[in-house]
Chains A and B, each alone.
Chain A
Amino acid sequence: MDTTSPEKIPFLRDPAKLAILYQILTVVGVGLLCYYLVHNTLANLERQSISTGFGFIEKEASFEIGESVIKYSAADSYGRALMVGFFNTLIVSFIGILLTVILGTFLGIARLSSNWLLAKISAIYIEIFQDIPILLQLFFWYAFFYEILPSPRAALNPMSGMFLCNRGLIFGIPVWHDAFKYAAIALILGCVIIFFMKKWAAKRQAATGMIFPVFRVSLAIIIGLPVITWFLAGAPTEMSIPKLSGFNFKGGLTISPEFTALLLGLVLYTAAFVAEVVRAGIQSVSKGQKEAAMSIGLKQGHVLNLVVLPQALRVIVPPLTSQLLNLTKNSSLAVAIGYPDFVSVAGTTINQTGQAIEGVALIMMVYLIFSLSTSAYMNWYNKKIALVER
């Protein structure tokens, strides 16, 4: 604190001292603000005798939730209800991300296609879907589902075992059998094999220059292994076919209009942004790279795989992750069309318990976990890329 330099710098001119002063002022300011808000809040809670704390998590929720992947009934606790919402958010985000990446990549490539018509159509698509608020798109799709589609009793039956009506898309699924468990294990095993095969192939290529057809073999393993396992385990083919009984279809799998509308809206909207990201990524690879690759005799597929993609991905991945994170955050709009995602369940909880602060804090925490883990991944990825670059 005490400067021993011969010429005394006036206090207000010394950047080091000023910095400390500013920081103290900031801390005091923020501290006072926090104290003020907390004080008010506590006074208000006290006065209105609203209970505080997370004790409500264990209380009985006593409201029903429309769709859930884990077992849930109104007799379960608020905690379990929130879990249901959390998983619903995860599912819609996960499927949404998969579809968005596929559609977005396709659109981005189509945008650069030498085919004029294709390029124009995807350009128009991108412009339109980027410029309309996501919420409006969700409302539109939801209205589309329940206004256009018929009631269950007049359900469309596009193919046997599959129905389309204003209760959603209902289709037959295989009845559970141990064979599926074994097939799932085989699938995981296949992924492990592919992982090691890739390493081996890269090593071999580095040593001998021979290219191993990794993609084709992986595809064969991923499809072949589970199918063979399923066949060996007795090849069960019994299906649970949906049947109209009472008000709704029983049996089979129902995908609700809320879920479908949400998924459709999120995917169509985000894909437009992803397409732009992909386009920018591909364009960032200079033409010379492609021409050089072709001139040393690489095949078209190899040019894309070995030269263009690795460079394009480095440009694509960071903005892509932020778009996919946006999709996850936008899935919170589910509350507007009645899909029971985390925000929607938390909203109901807030309303039934009156504990707004805890509820909103939970919502923020869940999304912060999503985004912090994503940025952790991004840091890891950037480091990895940097290593490759040397």
Chain B
Amino acid sequence: MRQLKRVVPAIVAAFCLTAGVVTAGTLDDVKAKGFVQAGVNGDLFGFGKPDAKGVWKGLDVDTARAVAIAIFGDSQKVKFTPLTAKTRFTALQSGEIDVLTRNATQTLSRDTALGLDFAQVNYYDGQGFLIPKKLGVKSAKELDGASVCVLPGTTTELNVADFFRFNNMKMNPVVIENTAELSKAFFAGRCDCMTSDASQLAGIRAVSPNPGDYMILPEIISKEPLAPAVRHGDNQWKDIVNYSVLALIDAEELGITSKNVDEMLKSKNPKIQRFLGVIPGNGKALGLDEKWAYNIIKQIGNYGEVFERNIGVNTPLGIERGLNALWTNGGLMYSPPFK
């Protein structure tokens, strides 16, 4: 027994090495530990999921990488924590993660009551329905009496209940906590339709055994602006996250891509010069290296590249830009000037 008593403190001590104490601003902490800890989905193809080799891929993952590059100039200086819908906000609040890039919808109550701050939206989404084609349903209004697969603890769970109630229809919810398990149940036919953000549905459809057998119904029943979230009250950190996302958007607007970014350094356009740090100022204002935006674009590309690489029309997800096109192309992606 005595040996045991000696072992236990050693074990606890060993474990405690992994428990850290965050005191100063998030930026200082991140710089001190040498990496950004990002909360991601883990199960969602196209947004946040490791591939077969364990390399994290997706739009949300790249957003987190952009933050890491802005600070360290290195896309590898980020670590990912897979989180469920239930644990995501607690993880952020408790300081377990520094930034939450896990397709979280910005809502008033989350922004206020949960003590979060949302940065620039990185994907404008809306809730839809995924349904097997063989059911022959053409509209969500025909779903009376259907079994609906839905993730618990999401805004979608509430929206779909509202939608059915408002349209005087009955629904039969099937709730399983894990995206992957839920979609497995859906593909096996446990439910008639699945509801979630349309982008998620596209991701789920893309990884289905036969994507051609499923379709997304035309109705979009809610607004779901998905944005990275940070803890409330750390303005410098929020600015960094915010402008890391905006840099992706602005670069696309300015026509800077990962391929031409080096040539663009020679550009005479003052907007581009300011953006890439040729004319210094932006970096200092944010407390970052002047090359921060250059590094982001050089390493992961602009928003268009990130979008097309992870979820665009040439990927299994095949999502059109739609609302997520630049404002100049009829979308909502709009960046304030970088000056």
Contacts and interface: CB of A to CB of B under 8 A. Distances in A.
Tell me, yes or no, whether A and B come into direct contact in the complex with CB atoms closer than 8 A.
Answer: yes
Given A146-B185, A146-B188, A348-B153, A49 B175 contact: no
A64 B147 contact: no
A63 B159 CA distance: 8
B154 to A, nearest CB: 8
A340 B113 contact: no
A325 B162 CA distance: 38
Chain B, interface SS category: mixed
A151 interface: yes
A50 B115 contact: yes
A66 interface: yes
Interface in A202-254: 245-248, 250
Interface string A12-27: 0000000000000000
B188 A63 contact: no
B173 to A, nearest CB: 4
Contacts of A172: none
A66 B171 CA distance: 8
Contacts of A328: none
A62 interface: yes
B160 to A, nearest CB: 8
B145 A66 contact: no
B7 to A, nearest CB: 24
A356 B90 contact: yes
Given A49-B115, A74-B162, A348-B153, 15 more contacts: A47-B115, A48-B232, A50-B115, A51-B113, A63-B157, A64-B160, A64-B161, A64-B171, A66-B172, A66-B173, A74-B165, A166-B188, A337-B176, A338-B174, A338-B175
A286 interface: no
B141 interface: no
Contacts of A151: 189
B114 A348 contact: no
Contacts of B189: 146, 150-151, 166
Contact of B153 (A245, A337, A347): A347
Contact of B172 (A49, A248, A351): A248
Contacts of A354: 89, 113-114
- Tier of interface size on chain B: 35 or more
B144 interface: yes
B109 to A, nearest CB: 8
27 contacts: A44-B93, A48-B115, A49-B113, A50-B114, A50-B115, A51-B113, A62-B158, A62-B161, A62-B162, A63-B157, A63-B173, A64-B161, A64-B164, A66-B174, A66-B175, A146-B185, A146-B190, A151-B189, A167-B190, A247-B135, A250-B145, A257-B190, A338-B174, A347-B152, A350-B86, A352-B157, A354-B89
B175 A340 contact: yes
Contacts of B164: 64, 74
Contacts of B85: 351
A81 to B, nearest CB: 11
A47 B135 CA distance: 50
Interface of B: 85-86, 89-90, 93, 112-115, 135, 143-147, 152-153, 157-158, 160-162, 164-165, 171-177, 185, 188-190, 192, 232
Closest 4 interchain pairs by CB? A351-B153, A48-B115, A74-B161, A146-B188
Interface in A17-68: 44, 47-51, 62-66
Contacts of B185: 146, 338
Nearest to A73: B165
A147 B190 CA distance: 9
Contacts of A356: 90
Interface in A348-369: 348, 350-352, 354, 356
Contacts of A75: 165
B191 to A, nearest CB: 9
Contacts of A66: 172-175
Nearest to B162: A62
B158 A63 contact: yes
Nearest to A353: B113
B146 A247 contact: yes
A44 B231 CA distance: 12
A344 B192 CA distance: 22
Contacts of B174: 66, 258, 338
> Which of A50, A146, A350, A351 is most buried by chain B, counting CB atoms within 10 A of its CB?
A351
A119 interface: no
A336 interface: yes
A184 interface: no
A109 interface: no
Contact of A338 (B146, B153, B161, B176): B176
A60 to B, nearest CB: 10
B192 A247 contact: yes
A105 B90 CA distance: 46
A64 B145 contact: no
A335 interface: yes
A246 B175 contact: no
A299 B35 CA distance: 80
Contact of B145 (A166, A248, A336, A337): A248
Nearest to B144: A246
Given A66-B175, A166-B189, A248-B172, A48 B146 contact: no
Contacts of A49: 112-113, 115
Interface in A143-197: 146-147, 150-151, 166-167
> Which of A44, A73, A344, A354 is most buried by chain B, counting CB atoms within 10 A of its CB?
A354
Nearest to A248: B145
A348 B232 contact: no
Interface in A113-132: none
Contacts of B175: 66, 338, 340, 344, 348
A337 B190 CA distance: 12
A351 B115 contact: no
Nearest to B233: A47
Nearest to A65: B173
Contacts of B171: 64
Contacts of A347: 86, 152-153, 177
Nearest to B182: A338
Contacts of A44: 93
A74 B153 CA distance: 14
> Which of B85, B160, B165, B177 is most buried by chain A, counting CB atoms within 10 A of its CB?
B177
B162 to A, nearest CB: 7
Contact of A50 (B113, B145, B176): B113
A352 B232 contact: no
Given A48-B115, A338-B175, A247 B161 contact: no
